[in-house]
Amino acid sequence: MSKFNTISPIIALLLLLCSLFLSGPVAAQEEQNTAAAYVIQPGDTLSKIAARFNLDIDQLSNANGITNPNQLFVGEVLVLPGVDWFSGTLDVVAVPVGETFRSLRRRYQLEGAVIGRTGGVINPSQLYAGYPLLMPTDVGEDLNLARAAVSSGESLLNIAARTGTNPWEIAGANQLAGVWVTIRGDVLLLPGTNQPGPGALPSPISLEVSHGNFVQGRTTVLTLSAGGVPLELSGEFIGHQLHFHQVGADYVALQGVHAMTEPRPYLLVLNGKTGEGVEFQFSQMVLVEDGGYGTEKLTVDQAYLDLEVNNAESAFVEQLTAPVTPEKLWEGYFVKPTPFDVYFTAVFGTRRTYTGSDYTNFHGGVDFGGADGEVICAANGRVVFAGPLEIRGNATIIDHGWGIYTGYFHQSEIFVQAGDEVQEGQIIGRIGNTGRSTGAHLHWEVWAGGVQVEPYYDWLLTQFP
């Protein structure tokens, strides 16, 4: 228990007065005027730059000695005459995962309005991960500060006591109106400390997303590096709960993005609690990118497409692949589920229309076609279903732990039963033409976090986590 918890109201008032008094000299320092400058970006023209900063073209040309406006060089620095609301050099920075509007403001010590002016951002929620934002290039070393989360009911004095820092300096560094202002879930910079640079998560926690982004139909790895701090974590992304598993000092969640998700920013939410009981919340808009899938028209008898049967069976498979087994049963790459060099007769993600319907369906797996042969278990796991389904035919579904499942469909024979432990490489059935299939082939699916994902690039050619 810290001594600040029992601080008397009189002392608190004196501290407030001190903090108000201290704010004078800081404001005076900010009036030092350094010129504003801008790094020329691809696609820029002089008139675009002038419009962006609300400048006169002639004034901009003269200040930079430009005689030919058609000769602008990307990467060159232009002085911005008359720009007095900012000083320093602005360059385009893609908003990293793990930074929010508030954390960026603090990192670059900018007023929110400046971010709006430089980035064309009207609303903080527009600042999704990957957003190209104009930011100062010169961030001082002194901004590589440690960060502390504001737990529920915590005051700045509590935080200062807990982190061994000074409440007034915290208020100053975080542009808080005073030491009485804290918001639950906020993360504050801690002046006088030095740790891996700012972000929107408390030190030493940092967030990384595989390939820095989320893509339709692909498996995303979210890694929270915790630096040895024990964490309790939960999270949510596009209606799916994120399940984190401890790997050494890190916490890892695998989550598929549905192949039909509209490409745009979505909210990523993480909630955590450290072993010491400090809670933190993190939310950021992150962009889901287009997976680049093709389209195909299939001509099928309408009677053959029984929507009710299809929906009921999909719901059944979805419910089978929803539980998250905490142990990770697989190791390294998955192996190809057929022994011979079969070719894909259909790839994952292709949008399909049946006799003129909308492209609302997609191919949820890969098809290995062309021949009869053995069906091979792709990775160690436990069989959760083995039996006939109307559309998928003879089906085997295997749980590999951490919410990862594989499905083997249209088999002629099944050699395993629900509950069996199976090994990578084990022969578990034979390729067939059962269910709604128009020729012997293996339809193979991989599920991650309750979503069908691309099995080939992601699971045969990529090692997870």
- List interacting residues with Zn ion (CB under 5 A): 367, 443
DSSP per residue over 64-105, as a string? Answer: HT-S-TT---TT-EEE-TT--S--EEEEEEEPPTT--HHHHH
Q: Given the complex with Zn ion, which of 438 and 463 has the nearer CB atom?
A: 438
Cβ contact 101:127 at 8 Å: yes
Strands 351-354 and 295-298, how do they pair?
A: parallel
Which strands sit side by side in the sheet containing 361-362, from one edge to the other? 295-298, 351-354, 361-362
Smallest separation (angstroms) from Zn ion to the CB of 443:
3
How deeply is 138 buried, as exposed, middle or buried, from its count of CB atoms within 10 A (0-12, 13-18, 19+)? exposed
Q: Given the complex with Zn ion, which of 444 and 464 has the nearer CB atom?
A: 444
Smallest separation (angstroms) from Zn ion to the CB of 373:
16
Smallest separation (angstroms) from Zn ion to the CB of 290:
22
Closest-approach residue to Zn ion (CB): 443
| Distance of alpha carbon 300 from alpha carbon 231, whole angstroms | 52
Element at 316 (helix H, strand E): helix 307-320
Smallest separation (angstroms) from Zn ion to the CB of 446:
13
Q: Given the complex with Zn ion, which of 72 and 347 has the nearer CB atom?
A: 347
Smallest separation (angstroms) from Zn ion to the CB of 462:
21
Q: Given the complex with Zn ion, which of 172 and 373 has the nearer CB atom?
A: 373
- Residue among 434, 446, 177 at smallest CA distance from 330: 446
What are the phi and psi torsion angles at 444 (to 5°)? Answer: -115, 130
Smallest separation (angstroms) from Zn ion to the CB of 430:
17
| Distance of alpha carbon 150 from alpha carbon 293, whole angstroms | 43
Smallest separation (angstroms) from Zn ion to the CB of 344:
9
Q: Given the complex with Zn ion, which of 102 and 443 has the nearer CB atom?
A: 443
Q: Given the complex with Zn ion, which of 198 and 217 has the nearer CB atom?
A: 217
- Residue among 377, 373, 368 at smallest CA distance from 425: 377
Q: Given the complex with Zn ion, which of 210 and 452 has the nearer CB atom?
A: 452
Q: Given the complex with Zn ion, which of 91 and 445 has the nearer CB atom?
A: 445
Smallest separation (angstroms) from Zn ion to the CB of 436:
10
Cα 319 vs. chain centroid, distance in angstroms?
25
| Distance of alpha carbon 176 from alpha carbon 401, whole angstroms | 45
Instruction: Say which DSSP state 457 is in.
Output: I
Smallest separation (angstroms) from Zn ion to the CB of 453:
14
Q: Given the complex with Zn ion, which of 91 and 367 has the nearer CB atom?
A: 367
- Number of helices followed by number of strands (H, E) in the chain: 8, 29
| Distance of alpha carbon 242 from alpha carbon 245, whole angstroms | 10
